Amino acid sequence: MNKPSIEQRFAPLLQARQAQNLYRARPLALSAQQPSMQINGKQVINFSSNDYLGLANAPELKNALQQTLSQNLSVGSGAAHLVTGHSLEHHLLEDELADWLGVERVLLFSTGYMANLAVQQVLMQKGDLILGDKLNHASLIDGALQSDADFKRYAHNDMSALEKRLSKTQHADSATLIVSDGVFSMDGDLTKLPELQKLAKNNQAWLFLDDAHGFGALGKHGKGCFEYFDCQPDTNTILMGTLGKAFGVSGAFVAGSQTLIETLINFARPYIYTTAMSPMMAAAGREALRLVKQADARREHLNQLIQQFRIGASQLGLPLMDSPSAIQPIVLGDAATALAWSEQLKQQGFWVGAIRPPTVPHNTARLRITLSAAHTAEQVDSLLEALAACQHSHTLSR
């Protein structure tokens, strides 16, 4: 019997995805990351970026990179952090992030995905239990599945369901880790952090919060969900944040206690066995942190745009979700409808991606609209007008 080739095995799967309107292709950005962009050769206003503070193309970050050329910094780190790749710029960025967040230590990772894999693989052992929100990011799910612990999911933001799960975990020698996004990336809503933290403390569980979409944008000073809810992390709290969203650069970090960070340094395979991020990017990250600290006006403008969009969308009768964040999804149902709206928006000069299964549950395909402090009120008004046109076209076509 002949074994299948790659073509024989996967070509039918790709054809099936195309037939189901679930095929994915990479759009080609031909300009800098900013509201006005050229994508796939078309000039559009971009409402699909996670650049929440509009820093990705900030001249201060470009200048910071230019200055590294005269600072004896290499482009590549050349090795893993535990070999010769841990530069002074990495070290200073970790210290400055820790000071900003008020935690004992911070550890840099190349991506948030790697950080989420590392935390759960290392901390959770056989006999332990991970309890994750049903709508957690894929990296959190994968991290849980790749650990040796049991993994159970609770209904999205359902604290009663979580409490029931916790009540069945009273084993003296086992640990329980509650895992949640801070801002859920496809819905834009927030975890119920005060209740989550209370349940963790009452049940002696550890809490792991992925605040990738919160850091920089949420809270009075941009410190994320803990600041937004006026809560304080304790020694059994693990925080993960990324530098590639509101910070406008790249990379990620885990924040927490001294013991947590030393444990990750010594046992986390996604940390130990990979080359460190570029020292030049770490220097840019330090400048990005400085800008985030000074971005009160940007955050205020972003919040005004969020309110403007939500009021306008509500007046149009568009199906908004309960999101106070820069992520404002419009759930349309089937994938074909979401693609049709997305394509019509592109023809009108707006780039808004259609999010389809398996990224979101079946029959919840949506437009994932993201707002940035770099957008103007006029651009948001124009988007609302374009959405109204889509709504009209969709109504006429039914």
**Residues with catalytic roles:** 185, 213, 245
Query: Residue 359, annotated ligand binder?
Result: yes
Query: Residue 24, annotated ligand binder?
Result: yes
Q: Which residues have C-beta within 8 Å of that of residue 248, sequence separation ≥ 6?
A: 51, 53, 54, 55, 56, 57, 58, 61, 288, 291
- For residue 300, which of 229, 218, 243 has the smallest C-alpha distance? 218
Both tokens of 153, joined, read 């999911």
Both tokens of 55, joined, read 């820093």
Parallel, antiparallel, or unpaired: how do β-strands 354-355 and 129-133 relate? unpaired
Query: Residue 113, annotated ligand binder?
Result: yes
Both tokens of 396, joined, read 């006429």
Query: Residue 191, annotated ligand binder?
Result: no
Residue 254: φ, ψ to 5°: -115, 135
Residue 343: φ, ψ to 5°: -65, -40
Query: Residue 242, annotated ligand binder?
Result: yes
> What type of residue is 248?
G
Rg (CA), the chain: 22
- HEC profile of the chain: CCCCCHHHHHHHHHHHHHHCCCCCCCCCECCCCCCEEEECCEEEEECCCCCCCCCCCCHHHHHHHHHHCCCCCCCCCCCEHHHHHCCHHHHHHHHHHHHHHCCCEEEEECCHHHHHHHHHHHHCCCCCEEEEECCCCHHHHHHHHCCCCEEEEECCCCHHHHHHHHHCCCCCCCCEEEEEECECCCCCCECCHHHHHHHHHHCCCEEEEECCCCCCCCCCCCCCHHHHCCCCCCCCEEEEEECCCCCCCCCEEEEECHHHHHHHHHHCHHHHCCECCCHHHHHHHHHHHHHHHCCHHHHHHHHHHHHHHHHHHHHHCCCECCCCCCEEEEEEECHHHHHHHHHHHHHCCEECCEECCCCCCCCCEEEEEECCCCCCHHHHHHHHHHHHHHHHHHHHHC
Give the annotated binding-site residues for substrate.
24, 137, 359
Give the annotated binding-site residues for pyridoxal 5'-phosphate.
112-113, 185, 213, 242
Give the annotated binding-site residues.
24, 112-113, 137, 185, 213, 242, 359
